[in-house]
Amino acid sequence: MADDVDAPHEAVLEVNGTATLPNLLDQTAGHCLRTQGSCWVAYLGYNRADGQPLALAAPQWPRPRMLPGVSTAAQLGTPSDTVEIFWAYRNLVDAENLWRQLGRTVGNGGG
């Protein structure tokens, strides 16, 4: 049995046109950074729509860590655009090892 019977959780945030992906991830990762013994992988799109991991959040880090090879400079678009971030829960994994493993996947163009 899962401990989050209310999932999925949705939030709507308004960001300005100069917001970057790291800014948005910082805003959406709050509960991810409080869950000890776990980490969270951020994907662009609902339910991992594009299959490409973007970043990893873990309690031992003060903010989500972008994966190598993911563009952090790109702006998210105009204020009328919609961006969906999906956080996938990973329990009982070493966050550093998972970050390196996913970073290799992104760097090779895989998902």
Q: Flag whether 11 is in a domain.
A: no
Q: Flag whether 82 is in a domain.
A: yes
Alpha-carbon gap, residue 90 to 57, rounded angstroms: 10
Are 55 and 70 spatial neighbours (Cβ–Cβ below 8 Å)? yes
Domain count for the chain, please give it.
Answer: 1
pLDDT for the residue 43: 87
Query: pLDDT (tens digit, 9 = 90+) per residue, 4-15?
Result: 555 556 677 776
Q: Flag whether 56 is in a domain.
A: yes
Q: Flag whether 2 is in a domain.
A: no
Q: Flag whether 9 is in a domain.
A: no
Q: Flag whether 6 is in a domain.
A: no
CA angle at 64 for the pair 105 and 79, rounded to the nearest 5°:
100
Q: Flag whether 15 is in a domain.
A: no
Query: pLDDT (tens digit, 9 = 90+) per residue, 27-52?
Result: 888 766 777 778 999 987 766 666 78
Are 56 and 42 spatial neighbours (Cβ–Cβ below 8 Å)? yes
Alpha-carbon gap, residue 58 to 62, rounded angstroms: 8
Domain of 26? 21-107
Q: Flag whether 4 is in a domain.
A: no
Provide the mean pLDDT of the chain. Answer: 76
